[in-house]
Structure 1
Amino acid sequence: MTAELSSLTAESIQKELLGFLGERIKTDVEPDQDLFSSGLVSSMFAMQLVVHLEEAYDIAIVGPDLKFDNFRTVETMTSLVLRLRDASGPADDA
């Protein structure tokens, strides 16, 4: 990801995720669209989402955060990224 991680916004994360998904699944999705129930994303692809989010946003998704509900929509993934980035806090930047 080329965006400055310290200036992430929900809007910038959603835009990046929509672009990532569009490239991978070759279709446009809405931020609130359930990717699993729509059949656009498989459980195997969910693991690719985990890796992408961890690498793009410098977060670790472990334990209770590794559940389908956190990856069901672009909105839920955005919330997860923001929550985990906030939890890591500015100490990482020092």
Structure 2
Amino acid sequence: MNKIQTQIKAFLSRFFGNHDLQVDEDIFTLGFVNSMFAMQLVLFIEQEFQINIENEDLEFDNFRTINSLANLVERKTAKIVL
């Protein structure tokens, strides 16, 4: 697990109780996500990684798993560096 994945897992684990969330588990399918939590997740990603989540980024596939969230962060931070 890389640093981004570790930070995301640490955040999510605070809300998922005793469930040992894996990097490829779908958090929507697990039933842990409601609309309020989805907004908290977006805010966490923006603040933690200093990126802006745009409307076009707000697709379920970008937020389903730790891996997909980490990929989103990596894509967004790569644009900042360029």
2:28 partner letter: F
Flag the structure with more relative contact order, 1 or 2, with Cα contacts below 8 A and sequence separation at least 6: 2
Asked if residue 81 in structure 1 is aligned to residue 73 in structure 2, the reply is: yes
Name 1:4's counterpart in structure 2. Answer: none
Query: Is there any run of 5+ residues in structure 1 with no aligned partner, and where?
Result: 1-9
Whether contact under 8 Å (1:17, 1:74) holds in the other structure is yes
2:46 is matched with which residue: 51, 54, 58? 54
Give the SS at the match of 2:15.
helix
The percentage of aligned residue pairs carrying the same residue is 40
* Cα shift readout 1:36-85 (whole Å, capped 9, x = no counterpart): 01112223211111000000000000121011211100000000000000
- Determine the C-alpha separation between the residues in 2 that align with 1:43 and 1:33: 19
Whether contact under 8 Å (1:35, 1:73) holds in the other structure is yes
- Determine the C-alpha separation between the residues in 2 that align with 1:86 and 1:80: 10
Tell me the C-alpha RMSD between the 2 structures.
Answer: 1.4
Query: What is the TM-score normalised by the length of structure 1?
Result: 0.79
- Determine the C-alpha separation between the residues in 2 that align with 1:68 and 1:20: 18
Name 2:60's counterpart in structure 1. Answer: 68
Moved beyond 2 Å, runs of 4+: none
Name 1:6's counterpart in structure 2. Answer: none
